[in-house]
C-alpha cells in the first residue's frame, strides 16, 4: 500500500511504501536529464505531464511537479505507477548505485568526516521526513557546500532551513564551519 504525505514544498509530495524503493541509497532524477536515465520506472515517471523531478530513497520517493498539473491529476498516476511496478517486480526500483559522485575535498579529512556525520545523523533524517535529501559537496575555508534534493530543491522554505537549521547545527557541532551554501 502506498501512503502519501505532504511536504513543506507545495509542488512536491512524498510517496511511502512498505517495500524497498531504493537499495542504492538516495538518488535524484530530473526531467531535463531524462535522456540519460536508464531506469525504466524513473524514465516513465519523469515522462508524466508536469513531473519535474523524482527522488528515490530507501522507503519513499518524492515527486516534484510544475504548475501545469494539479496533485488531483498526478497523485493517482504516481500511486498507480508504483503499485504496478511492485505487482510485477520483486526487486527495488533502484537496486544498484546509479553513479558515485566524488566531492571536492580540499580540507582536512577529520573535519569533513565530522561534517558528514552531523549531516547523516542530525540533518538528513529531518530532511527525509520532508521528502528530500541533502548531499555534502565540499568544505573550503570554513564554507560547507551542500546540494538540496527532492522536495527541498526549489522549496520556498529551503533557504530558511539551510541557514537556520543546517548552518546552525553544523556550526554548533563542528567549530571549523563558518557558513553553509547550497549549490
- Give the architecture-level CATH label for domain 3-88: 2-Layer Sandwich (3.30)
- Asked if 120 and 170 count as a contact pair (C-beta separation under 8 A), the reply is no
Q: Which residues contact 38 (CB under 8 A, 6 or more apart)?
A: none
- Tens digit of each residue's pLDDT (9 = 90 or more) over 66-107: 999 999 999 999 999 999 999 999 999 998 755 434 444 444
Q: Which residues of the chain have pLDDT under 70?
A: 97-108, 154-156, 158-159, 161
Q: What is the pLDDT of residue 107?
A: 44
Q: How far is CA 90 from each of CA 6, 16, 55, 75, 86, rounded to the nearest angstrom?
A: 27, 17, 20, 23, 7
Fold of 104-182: GMP Synthetase; Chain A, domain 3 (3.30.300)
List the grid coordinates of 129. 521526513
Helix, strand, coil tally for the chain in percent (to 5): 40, 25, 35
Could you state, in order of their start, the residue ranges of all structural domains in the chain? 3-88, 104-182
Residue whose C-alpha cell is 520532508: 130
CA pair distance 181, 183, nearest whole angstrom = 7
Contact at 8 Å (CB) between 161 and 152? yes
pLDDT of residue 108: 58
Burial of 153: CB neighbours in 10 Å, binned 0-12, 13-18, 19+: buried
How far is 9 from 156, CA to CA, in rounded Å?
A: 7
Side-chain half-sphere CA neighbours of 18 within 13 A: 1
- Residue 61 Cα to chain centre, angstroms: 8
Taking the whole predicted model, whether its pTM rises above 0.75 is answered as no
Amino acid at each position: 500500500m502506498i501512503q502519501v504525505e505532504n511536504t513543506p514544498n507545495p509542488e512536491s509530495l512524498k510517496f511511502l511504501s512498505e517495500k524497498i524503493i531504493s537499495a542504492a541509497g538516495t538518488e535524484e532524477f530530473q526531467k531535463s536529464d531524462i535522456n540519460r536515465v536508464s531506469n525504466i520506472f524513473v524514465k516513465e515517471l519523469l515522462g508524466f505531464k508536469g513531473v519535474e523531478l523524482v527522488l528515490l530513497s530507501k522507503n519513499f520517493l518524492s515527486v516534484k511537479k510544475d504548475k501545469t498539473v494539479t496533485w488531483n491529476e498526478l497523485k493517482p498516476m504516481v500511486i498507480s505507477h508504483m503499485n504496478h511496478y511492485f505487482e510485477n517486480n520483486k526487486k527495488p526500483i533502484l537496486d544498484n548505485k546509479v553513479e558515485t559522485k566524488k566531492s571536492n575535498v580540499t580540507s582536512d579529512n577529520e573535519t569533513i568526516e565530522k561534517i558528514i556525520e552531523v549531516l547523516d545523523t542530525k540533518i538528513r533524517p529531518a530532511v527525509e521526513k520532508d521528502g528530500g535529501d541533502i548531499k555534502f559537496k565540499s568544505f573550503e575555508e570554513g564554507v560547507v557546500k551542500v546540494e538540496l534534493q527532492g522536495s527541498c530543491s526549489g522549496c520556498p522554505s529551503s533557504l530558511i532551513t539551510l541557514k537556520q537549521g543546517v548552518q546552525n547545527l553544523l556550526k554548533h557541532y563542528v567549530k571549523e564551519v563558518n557558513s553553509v551554501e547550497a549549490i
